[in-house]
Amino acid sequence: MNTTQTPATGSPAATLQDIIAHAKEYGFVFPSSEIYDGLQAVYDYGQNGVELKNNLKTLWWKAMTQLHDNRDGGPVVGIDASIFMHPLTWKASGHVDSFNDPMIDNRDSKKRYRADQLLELKAEAYANAGDEAKSTALLQEMGRLLGDNDLEGVRNLIIAEGIKDPVSGTDNWTEVRQFNLMFSTQVGSLAEDASLIYLRPETAQGIFVNFLNVQKTGRMKIPFGIAQIGKAFRNEIVARQFTFRMREFEQMEMQFFVRPGTEMKWYETWRDTRMKFHQAIGLPAEKLKFHIHEKLAHYANAAVDIEYKFPFGFREMEGIHSRTDFDLKAHQELSRKKQQYFDNDIDPATGKPFGNYVPYVVETSVGADRLFLAVFCNAFTKEVVGEGDQQKERTYLKLHPALAPIKAAIFPLVRKDGLPEKAEEIMKSLRFEFRVIMEERDAIGKRYTRQDLIGTPFCIAVDYQTLEDDTVTVRYRDTTEQIRIPISELKAHIGQEVSMERLLEKM
C-alpha cells in the first residue's frame, strides 16, 4: 500500500503520506499544538486550508439554502446553534445512556467486556445457586460504585469476586475505562455551583430544539429544512487516518421535516441530491458510492452513506438518515413542550386537513473535514512531464477554480522597467472580486510552480508587451497553456471560471 506504483495514466499513485506531507508543507493542515508534540486526532487548518474549507462550507450552504426555496419542494433555512446545550438534550437524544459503558479488557485473551455485565452475570450465578441475598448485595455494591463513578472500585470488585475471563480463564484485567462518547465540562464560574454539561457530539440536536422557533418565526410550512454548520466533539476510541477521524470536527447538517409517511420519498430525493453535489464539485463518480446501512441506529428507519475512495479505501463522507420522529418525540416527552405541527393541507383520503403531528425527519450530514480531505486527496496530482533528459515530476492541486484558496497570481516577468508597478495595478483592480496575490521574486518558472502546489488556477504574467498594448498572458494550471487577453477582460474571464455559480448550476 505504501509503495509508489505507476498506474496506466502514467502518474505515480499518491499515498496518504504524500498527501499529509503536502497538506502540511503548503499550509493546508497542521497537527494541533505541534510545538508541544501535538494532540492526538486534533488538527489545525493553515492559511490555505482555511480558504479551501471555507469555500466548501460556503458552497454547501448555498447549495442547501439558496437552491431550495418555497417554490422548490421545500425551502431550507439556516441556523447557528450553540455548542453548549442543556444536559437533558443528550438524555433525550439517547447519547447519555447509550454511550457510557464501563469497559474492561482481559490482557491474556485481548477481549473486551462491559464491566457491569461481568458483575451482573456473577450476581445471576449467585441467584441461581440460591443465594439471593448475596446476588442483591453485589448488584447494590456495583450500582453504588458506578453511581460514584468509582471505576477502580469496580475493577477491585471484579477481582474480589474472582471473576475470570471465560476465554482465557484468567483475571489479568486492565483498569476499567469509561468509553465516554461526549466531552464534558462545567458551566458556572464558581466551582461549587458549577454543573456538568457536554460539548455537543452532533449538531443535529441544536436544530431539533429550535424546530418550532424556526417554523413559527419563519412561517415555515412542512416540508422544510434547517441547515447548520458547526463544530462537534467526540471521544473516538481509535482516532486515525489523518483528519478523517478527529475529536473536534465540523459538521454540515440539514434536517428536513416532513409529513409522516412521506419520509422515504424525501430520503431518496435527498440521497440523490447530495450525490449530485459531490460530483458537481469535482469528485469523480467512480470514487463515490452509496453504502446502505444494514444495522440501523436507534433513531433511524433507513440510512445510507455516501462513501469516497480515500487512499485508505472507501470510507463514509456523508450520511443520509431517515430519523423518523424519534428526536422530536423524545424532546417533546422530556421537555413537556409540544413539538408538533398543524398541517392545514387537505388529506385527499379524508377530505380534511392532515392536522397535528410530530414531523418525521430526513437528515443529511456531511463532515466538513472529510469533504475537505476527499477534495484534497482528489486534487493532489503528480504527473511526469517532458521527455528524455527533460523529464521531471510535476505536482499540483487540481482543485476546481471555485474552491482554490487563491484564484489568481500576478507575476511581472522581470523586476524592473515598470513591470512590477503594472502588475500591482492589475492586482489592485482584481482584488475586489477575488483573492489574488502578486509575486515578483525568483524566476518565473519557480513562481508558477509555487502556485501549482497550492492549486491556484490562473497565473497572470505581465511582460513588455503589456506596457505597449495592455494585454497579459493567462496561464492555466492544469495544462500550463497560456492565452493572451486584454487586462480589461481579466475580471470577466477569470470571474466566470472561479465563480461558485458555475458549480451550483450543476447541482
Partner RNA sequence: GCGGAAGUAGCUCAAUUGGUAGAGCGAUAGCCUUCCAAGCUAUAGGUUGCGGGUUCGAGACCCGUCUUCCGCUCCA
When asked if residue 202 is in the footprint of RNA (CB under 7 A), the reply is yes
Pick from 109, 241, 332, 335 the residue near RNA by CB under 7 A. 241
Distance of closest approach, residue 162 Cβ to RNA, in angstroms: 23
Separation of alpha carbons 377 and 450, rounded Å: 18
- Report, in Å, the least distance between residue 166 CB and RNA: 17
CA torsion, ordered 213, 253, 507, 273, to nearest 10 deg: -100
* 57 C-beta neighbours (distance < 10 Å), count: 16
Task: Out of 6, 9, 40, 47, point to the residue binding RNA (CB under 7 A).
Answer: 40
φ, ψ of residue 349 in degrees (nearest 5): -70, -35
Q: What is the DSSP letter of 41?
A: T
Is residue 463 a contact residue for RNA (CB under 7 A)? yes
- Tell me if 17 contacts RNA by CB under 7 A: yes
Minimum distance from CB of 417 to RNA (Å)? 8
Q: Tell me which H or E stretch contains 398.
A: none
Using the minimum distance from each CB to RNA, give the nearer residue, 245 or 400: 245
Binds RNA by CB under 7 A, chosen from 16, 125, 264, 485:
16
Furthest-apart CA atoms within the chain: distance in Å: 104
Among 62, 291, 329, 394, binds RNA (CB under 7 A): 394
Output the CA torsion sign for 197, 202, 203, 205.
negative
Residue 155 within binding range of RNA, rule CB under 7 A: no
For 48-100, give the DSSP string. HHHHHHHHHHHHHHIIIIIT--TTTTS-EEE----SB--HHHHHHHTHHHHT-
Cα–Cα distance for residue pair 351/361, rounded to 1 Å: 25
**Rule CB under 7 A: is residue 453 a binding residue for RNA?**
yes
Does position 445 interact with RNA (CB under 7 A)? The reply is yes
Give the shortest CB-175-to-RNA separation in angstroms.
10
- For residue 13, give Cα distances in angstroms to 6, 87, 172, 381: 6, 47, 45, 9
Q: Which of 181, 214, 375, 404 binds RNA (CB under 7 A)?
A: 181
DSSP 3-state assignment of 5? coil
Q: Can residue 436 be called a binding residue for RNA (CB under 7 A)?
A: no
Q: Binders of RNA among 331-370, rule CB under 7 A?
A: none
Interface with RNA (CB under 7 A), residue from 210, 235, 395, 429 = 395
Joined together, the cell numbers standing for residue 111 give 477481549
Rounded Cα gap, residues 115 and 122, in angstroms: 11
Rg of the chain over Cα atoms, rounded to whole angstroms, equals 29
Answer yes or no whether residue 39 interacts with RNA by CB under 7 A.
yes
Count of residues engaged in binding RNA, rule: CB under 7 A: 62
CA 494, CA 221: separation in Å to the nearest integer?
40
Instruction: Rank residues 38 and 166 by Cβ distance to RNA and give the closer one.
Output: 38
Q: What is the nearest approach in angstroms of RNA to the Cβ of residue 358?
A: 20
418: left (phi over 0), alpha (psi -120 to 50) or beta: left
231 interacts with RNA by CB under 7 A: no
- Binders of RNA among residues 277 to 316 (CB under 7 A) are 295, 297-299, 311-312
Interface residues with RNA (CB under 7 A) are 1-2, 16-17, 20-21, 24-25, 31, 37-41, 95, 98-99, 105, 110, 181, 201-202, 234, 237-242, 245, 295, 297-299, 311-312, 390, 392, 394-395, 413-416, 441-446, 448-450, 453, 461, 463-464, 473, 475, 480-482
